[in-house]
Amino acid sequence: MKFDRDRIAELLQACLPDDANLFVVGLTVSDAIRPKVTVTLDGEQGVGIDECAQVSRRLARRIEEEYSEEASYTLEVTSPGADQSLTDPRQYTRHVGRSLDLKLTDGTEKTGVLEETTPEGIQLAEVVKEKNKKKTLPAAHIPFADIAEAKVVISFK
């Protein structure tokens, strides 16, 4: 059976709780004999296992209504891992105060503390090394359009 990714995306949007401020950051539908639908959700305050389970149950019901109960597929609804890139501007808000590693579209890389988010981009206080010392530069605005990849720096301090 072939699943239509766009149709699954429509069904998924209808499954999101109205009050949870959840949003989709990833949706893949494999082209295998038994397709695998993988949904990655996030929220402004994060996303918990109960929310993933609720969306999973709702989406499974809608897929069965759309494609019949005999449809053979695998469904995975998850939250982004700590090592995954930030892909949606809404993900940055809850990481204010944390360090980010950025790769910009011009090929440069920056590491610094996320001080603020705006609708257009972020304010990043870049940390640079000078003569074996770390120096924090004044916060600079970086538009979302200039960010190729952003990852939260995991610290175990």
Helix H or strand E segment including 54: helix 49-67
Residue 156 confidence (pLDDT): 78
Q: Is 154 exposed, middle or buried (0-12, 13-18, 19+ CB in 10 A)?
A: exposed
Residue 102 confidence (pLDDT): 96
Residue 152 confidence (pLDDT): 94
**Chain-centre distance for alpha carbon 58:** 21
Q: How confident is the model at residue 1 (pLDDT cuts 50, 70, 90)?
A: low
Q: How confident is the model at residue 82 (pLDDT cuts 50, 70, 90)?
A: confident
What's the whole-number mean pLDDT along residues 127-149?
90
Indicate whether 20 pLDDT > 80. Answer: no
